[in-house]
Chain A
């Protein structure tokens, strides 16, 4: 597995595996919600933004996990991710890979076993 970085774990959860989907603009979010609504629970969303309303349909749609490249567990999104019980890592620092090089459709493993530090790997 390729380690892709670490961040702040929003809550302790264990390991979660899912299919990568990336969101950068509102259109990415709404398209995913409209076109893949019944499959959202298989996806781990990698978002450039750690803001709550931007990814709102992903929360109501019940995604499997969320990685945000900005933000912190104490932010609005962090609060909501805890309430929705969606395994999440925020303020995620990519290591040896750029956002644009992360391939959608690949399998991502989130390690949320630690109370504070979350890690992610691409299978």
Chain B
């Protein structure tokens, strides 16, 4: 086992305090969305808290053991010259928020685990998160709120490549691009069980010519999940690169969830240029996609959404809850495990997909508290006490 310097208890508690502000900042409006009759989101989010709280440190230590702390730092830096990967703001943010929020926060509030449990494991989790975040962000800030809600990652060379790939949009290609954007985003949400892990924005990048550039990933076929077999003909990810007329936008913010909040909200009329790329697999090369093919791809997206809806309707609540929980407890670490070349080992040797028994022991109890507890947490109520 590789040794590495973990954050101190004092520094760990500073993260707890800062996260208590950050989580409501990014998620408070989520708390209003109510129950999803199709997918038990609140339930699976809380179920994921068990595995993230009790096991992520083991997986993360295995990753560090494989590639070293320098290797973890290098993973984070890959975001500076690559597009179409899940090494993004949201995945990194979740590595802190989920074990502390839905794990320690909700389950601790419910008395299912003690706040003093697992504190050494929490030091691993925060250390892993800290190394990623410090090497991922380019502005020296911990979270986007500290830097004006921008997520600017790409180096000048990559920005230049993307800028030179942009094509001016005609009325026809603009309509096609808008539809492709909407349909792809819906499918990416759906394939990830109604969470944002399938979509990611970065930017805005001011091109200096009156345009702001946004780089948007839609992970439409996360083939590590069994339910996305209906999407098997699609590539792993499409990356949409587009510019908006800066003079027409009051602001464009992108928060830690890799989510854009433009103002005006209806920004599509101000899109000026675009291009699209894809990767067939998570580690395939990036290829450009002709704008003339977008309508056909959008139809494929819509078909996949219909198939997924039918598939999910046939699942019982337990199956949906487990699948959703996996998008968190496995999915959030997945890109890092793949990069470290250790994903198969985490599955075979560490049983990454096999939920701990507490998930099943408390399944029905958690169901009762999920809908009430999670919105409170998202609004900052009952945040966790410091680690003793």
Contacts and interface: CB of A to CB of B under 8 A. Distances in A.
Contacts of B305: 56-57, 60
Contacts of A83: 178, 181-182, 185-186, 268
Interface string B48-71: 000000000000000000000000
Size bracket, chain B contacts:
35 or more
A36 interface: no
Contacts of B182: 59, 80, 83-85
Given A10-B265, A53-B39, A72 B32 contact: yes
A71 B38 contact: no
Interface stretch (A23-31, A38-46, A100-108): A23-31
A15 interface: no
B183 interface: yes
In terms of DSSP, what is the predominant structure of the interface of chain B? helix
Given A11-B265, A54-B38, A60-B302, A70 B32 contact: yes
Contacts of A74: 29-30, 261
B111 interface: no
A75 interface: yes
Contacts, number: 121
A51 B29 contact: no
Contacts of A118: none
Contact of A51 (B41, B178, B264, B301): B41
A65 to B, nearest CB: 15
Interface residues of A, number: 39
Contact of B266 (A11, A30, A50, A70): A11
A53 B36 contact: yes
Nearest to A28: B37
A91 B35 contact: no
Interface string A54-92: 101101100000000111111111011011110000010
A52 interface: yes
Given A13-B266, A51-B37, 15 more contacts: A11-B264, A49-B34, A50-B34, A53-B36, A53-B194, A57-B306, A72-B32, A73-B265, A74-B29, A76-B194, A80-B186, A80-B189, A83-B268, A85-B178, A85-B182
Interface of A: 10-13, 24-27, 29-30, 33, 48-54, 56-57, 59-60, 69-77, 79-80, 82-85, 91, 115
